Amino acid sequence: MGGSTVVSVAMTRPDLLKTWVSDSLGVFDPGCTWHELARQWQMPEVGESR
């Protein structure tokens, strides 16, 4: 979640950042798919059991 917040700040207020790194740029790509484990975590019964 933090990476997405930094990307949003970087796009709207780049003057607030000196440098930044993000591992979540893929969430802005409509064609991006999560890896198998992340897809499992998003399922109510599976994700809540871990």
Q: Measured on CA atoms in the order 8, 20, 3, 23, is the torsion positive or negative? A: positive
20 pLDDT above the threshold of 80? no
- For the chain, the domain total comes to 1
1 pLDDT above the threshold of 70? no
As a whole number, mean pLDDT of residues 12-33 equals: 80
Give the predicted TM-score (pTM) of the model. 0.39
Side chain identity at residue 41, one-letter code: W
**The domain containing residue 20 runs over which residues?**
2-48
DSSP label of 49: T
As a whole number, mean pLDDT of residues 20-41 equals: 79
pLDDT at 32: 82
